[in-house]
Amino acid sequence: MAIEVKKISDLKEVDVTKLIQESEKEGYRFVSRLASEYEDGTNRFSEQGEALYGVWDDRELVAIGGLNQSINGAREQSARLYRFYTLPEHRRKGIGSKLCNAISTDAKGQFKEITTKTESAKVDAFYRANGFAFDESSPDITHVMSLE
């Protein structure tokens, strides 16, 4: 198993079909929204400090996640972990943690913190295990990772 985390410079050149199909089987539509938003130009992860990342196991894309500037004006120099997803058969193998680590490492020096939101207890445990603290200071945030 050759795991590689890479920035995605053009999502149109990456096959996200399996990620979309598997996420929708689980009842999640955020991966298909990521592809739609990229396609229509709503979100291309192209602002200062933003990036989209993928994790490949050999040649198969098995995880994806992005970093956007936060739209929450009360939190200066804040980034948002966005559309983070790992294929079910690749979970609990450290892939999500490698992706989270790559994103947070690249965000240091550009942002003071990374925020995200989840309603899942399993995802809550994942974020806490990867350096995020539970935070209920905003209805749009459940977890915050300090980068300072």
Q: Are 42 and 31 in contact (CB under 8 A)?
A: no
pLDDT in tens, 121-143: 889 999 999 999 999 888 989 99
Q: What is the pTM of this model?
A: 0.93
Domain residue ranges of the chain, discontinuous segments joined by +: 3-116
The CATH homologous superfamily of the domain defined by 3-116? Gcn5-related N-acetyltransferase (GNAT) (3.40.630.30)
Nearest alpha-carbon partner for 87 in 65, 62, 67:
62
pLDDT tens column, 27-49: 999 999 999 999 999 999 999 99
Predicted local confidence at residue 1, as pLDDT: 59
Q: Please name the amino acid found at residue 102.
A: A
Helix (H, G, I), strand (E, B) or coil at 24: helix
Say if strands 113-116 and 143-146 run parallel, antiparallel, or are unpaired.
Answer: antiparallel
pLDDT, tens digit, 9 for 90 and up, residues 4-18: 999 999 999 999 999
